[in-house]
Amino acid sequence: MNPPYDTTDFCAGFWRDLWDAGFVHFPPHARVLEIGCAEYDWQTPMLQVRPDLQITGIDWRPVTRPGDTVVGDVLTHEFPEASFDAIVAVSTVEHVGLGYYRQDPIDDDGDTNCMERCRRWLKPGGWMYLDVPYRPSGPLFTVTAKYRAYNDAALGERLLQGWHVVVRYVCGTTEKDGPYIALVLEQEHRS
């Protein structure tokens, strides 16, 4: 059986590492949201291994994937509260709101707003996977308006409000965008 990931895409490698280590797993018939589904085909290999998953992808760019796809903005499209058992964002959140992709609207806090929306869409007990460029000794910054990179303070302030970190995996890479950090998150309990 094929592995549930592309073995050539370097960002998919972070997902692969956590999958192979057993840190990410889906309940039977899980409803899964994939944010940014046009850049990399995460769905096809995932559904080959887990055909029971009900995957919905969202992206500004039209794309054909084996799951359902929504052409739209993750910052304005509405999913019902507690709709998904898991949310996957392979190298996506750092781009949200920067306008780099043609119709992607500008929102300086797009990454933060995306994470808040994900908390609402996730069922209690669900989890979220994301990976972003990581600069442990540098400030949050943007490179050519394409992506944000985060230090620990920026991760806490911009992405982790209301989340509990289950897995934190720093991924060293020689790619120009690296290193990255991959995170598996659960919602903090709301009082």
The sign of the dihedral angle between the CA atoms of 110, 23, 42, 176 is: positive
Q: What is the CATH number of domain 10-187?
A: 3.40.50.150
Least confident of 49-58, 111-120, 133-142, 177-186: 133-142
What's the average model confidence in pLDDT over 22-44? 95
> What is the pLDDT, as a whole number, of residue 174?
65
Q: Whole-prediction pTM value?
A: 0.93
Annotate 88-120 with three-state secondary structure. EECCCHHHCCECCCCCCCECCCHHHHHHHHHHH
Using DSSP's 3-state secondary structure scheme, residue 170 falls into strand
> What is the pLDDT, as a whole number, of residue 121?
98
* pLDDT tens digit sequence for 95-153: 999 988 776 788 999 999 999 999 999 999 999 999 999 998 887 777 767 899 999 99
* pLDDT tens digit sequence for 11-28: 778 888 999 999 999 999
pLDDT of 191 > 80? The answer is no
Spans of all domains in the chain: 10-187
